[in-house]
């Protein structure tokens, strides 16, 4: 009897050691993210088994703000973050060879209460506008270029522009303290549920600025060194990302599982957030994405050189060539 029990215990111990060995063979990919950011929705889907399927173990590290995630990447505390290609281009100008793979095409919009009577960009003259992301935010720079081109309107001079955090801007515009806001897509989704309407979407103004395709705005960002040393991990992460996006595009059950972390107060906000996220899902990563970003860069450079760190062009390598189709 004792021998039988001993054999069972030894067998269980061997199984445990085998499982630990298998787990140890799956290398981690450390992703830095904002604690309450929408990126976490996709990371949750990836962590539900897609990471192991593609040969890595996703490790998420939460940070308080965007600057903290960037510092964590620069210091090597994390392997990957999600940010924009302007940041990547700026870093490459400084000699830091980070690189970018598209994550999302979600764009902002100018939102206003229909009672304000703001129906076109020309109606923003003399109005108070809240802008998220700061003076160099891509949506704000593109909106200014559009206003100058289509309405001969310099919004910086002809409107009362106030920069602020997205939640604060939403609160102010709903209290009537602002006439309109240029906010991020997920905050616009909440305004839409509250009865606000888009005056103009950033996506809709692109053709007037000579842009034929939506540029990817946010992307997975990592260093050339990390990707060079870990090509299978880099490719595995992107493969898992696009598989997760395919599920998020079509699978309602996935969204039901995500709802507890989405901070959606009711069904209407939940549906608006889901639709907004789906609208920004890129179909893939191709050379046309690089061309679209280069065209958007040129428009932004001509409109406000400071918004692109006074760069003349996107540095070579800004977009990662290791995954281009």
pLDDT at 24: 54
Average pLDDT value over all residues in the chain: 91
pLDDT of 212 reads 83
The answer to pTM > 0.85 is yes
Place of tokens 């109606």: 123
In the chain the first and final C-alpha atoms are separated, in Å, by 63
More confident call, 14 vs 180: 180
30-72: per-residue pLDDT in tens?
A: 999 998 889 999 999 999 999 999 999 999 999 988 899 999 9
Give the mean pLDDT of 289-317.
93
The domain limits of the chain are 26-105+215-323, 109-209
Residue with tokens 């990919």: 29
CATH of domain 109-209: 3.40.190.10
CA–CA dist 21, 2 (Å, integer): 28
Task: Check pLDDT > 80 for residue 13.
Answer: no
Domains 26-105+215-323 and 109-209 share a fold: yes
Closest CA to 292 of 212, 202, 221, 220: 212
The whole-angstrom separation of Cα 4 and Cα 147 is: 82
% of the chain with per-residue pLDDT over 90: 81
Q: How far apart are CA 104 and CA 165, in angstroms?
A: 21
Assigned superfamily of 26-105+215-323: Periplasmic binding protein-like II (3.40.190.10)
If you average pLDDT over residues 74-100, what whole number do you get?
Answer: 96
Contact between residue 57 and residue 28 where contact means Cβ atoms under 8 Å apart: yes
The Cα-based distances of 192 to 185, 197, 269 in angstroms read 10, 6, 9
Could you read off the pLDDT of 177-223 as tens digits, one per residue?
A: 999 999 999 999 999 999 999 999 998 999 999 988 888 989 999 99
Cα–Cα–Cα angle for 110, 275, 123, nearest 5°?
15
Structure tokens at 56: 């890595």
Strand partners, 58: 29
CB 198 within 8 A of CB 145: no
pLDDT at 18 over 50: no
């Amino acid at each position: 009897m004792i021998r039988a029990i001993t054999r069972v215990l030894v067998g269980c111990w061997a199984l445990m050691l085998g499982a630990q060995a298998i787990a140890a063979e799956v290398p981690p990919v450390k992703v830095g993210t904002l604690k309450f950011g929408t990126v976490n929705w996709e990371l949750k889907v990836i962590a539900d088994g897609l990471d192991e399927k593609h040969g890595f173990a996703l490790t998420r590290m939460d940070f308080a703000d965007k600057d903290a995630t960037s510092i964590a990447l620069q210091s090597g505390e994390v392997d990957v973050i999600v940010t924009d290609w302007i940041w990547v281009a700026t870093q490459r100008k400084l000699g830091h060879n980070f690189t970018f793979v598209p994550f999302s095409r979600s764009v902002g919009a100018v939102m206003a209460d229909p009672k304000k009577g703001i129906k076109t960009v020309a109606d923003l003259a003399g109005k108070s506008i809240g802008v998220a992301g700061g003076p160099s935010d891509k949506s704000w720079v593109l909106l200014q270029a559009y206003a100058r081109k289509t309405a001969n309107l310099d919004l910086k001079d002809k409107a009362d522009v106030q920069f602020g955090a997205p939640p604060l801007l939403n609160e102010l515009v709903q209290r009537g303290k602002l006439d309109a806001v240029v906010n991020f897509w997920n905050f616009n989704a909440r305004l839409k549920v509250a009865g606000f309407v888009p005056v103009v979407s950033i996506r809709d103004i692109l053709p007037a600025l000579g842009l034929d395709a939506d540029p990817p705005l946010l992307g997975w960002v990592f260093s050339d060194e990390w990707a060079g040393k870990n090509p299978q991990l880099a490719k595995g992460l992107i493969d898992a990302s696009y598989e997760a996006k395919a599920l998020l595009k079509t699978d309602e059950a996935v969204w039901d599982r995500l709802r507890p972390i989405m901070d959606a107060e009711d069904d209407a906000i939940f549906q608006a957030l889901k639709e907004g996220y789906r609208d920004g899902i890129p179909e893939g990563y191709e050379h046309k994405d690089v061309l679209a970003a280069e065209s958007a860069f040129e428009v932004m450079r001509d409109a406000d050189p400071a918004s692109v760190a006074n760069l003349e062009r996107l540095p070579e390598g800004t977009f990662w060539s290791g995954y281009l189709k």
